Structure 1
Amino acid sequence: MKTPLPQVDKIERNWYVVDAQNKVLGRLATQIAMRLRGKHKPIFTPHLDTGDFVIVVNAEKVRLTGKKLEKKMYYKHTGYIGGLKSFTAKEMLKRKPEEVIRLAVKRMLPKNRLGRKQLKKLKIYSGPNHPHAAQKPQPLNI
Structure 2
Amino acid sequence: MSNTLSFKTYSAKPGEVVRKWYIVDAEGKVLGRLASEIAKVLRGKHKAQFTPHIDTGDFVIVTNAEKIGLSGKKMDQKTYFSHSNYPGGVRIDNVKDVLQKKPEQVIEKAVWGMLPHNNLGRQLFKKLKVYKGTEHPHAAQCPVEMNVN
The secondary structure found in structure 1 opposite 2:123 is helix
Name the counterpart of 1:122. 128
**Residue 103 of structure 1, aligned match among 109, 115, 135:** 109
Whole-angstrom CA distance in 2 between matches of 1:3 and 1:66: 43
Question: 1:1-142 alignment to 2 at 5 Å?
Answer: 1=6, 2-142=8-148
Residues 10 and 49, structure 2, Cα contact 8 Å, conserved in 1: no
Contact 2:27 2:64 in 1 (8 A): yes
2:3: which partner in 1? none
Any idea what the Cα deviations from partners look like across 1:13-62, whole Å, max 9, x if unmatched?
00000000000000000000000000000000111110000000000000
| 2:121 match: secondary structure | helix
More displaced stretch, 91-100 vs 72-81 = 72-81
Q: Letter of the aligned partner of 2:34 in structure 1? A: L
Q: CA deviation at 1:7?
A: 1.7
Q: Residue 120 of structure 2: SS of its match in structure 1?
A: helix
Identity %: 56
- Give the conservation status (yes or no) of the 8 Å contact 2:115–2:121: yes
Structure 1 unaligned segments of length 5 or more: list them: none
Which structure would you say has the larger Rg?
A: 2
Please provide the CA RMSD for this pair.
Answer: 0.9
The TM-score normalised by the length of structure 1 is 0.97
Q: Which runs of 4+ in 1 moved over 4 A?
A: none
Number of aligned pairs? 142
Gaps of 5+ in 2: 1-5
**TM-score (normalised: structure 2):** 0.92
SS at match of 1:82: coil
Q: CA deviation at 1:141?
A: 1.4
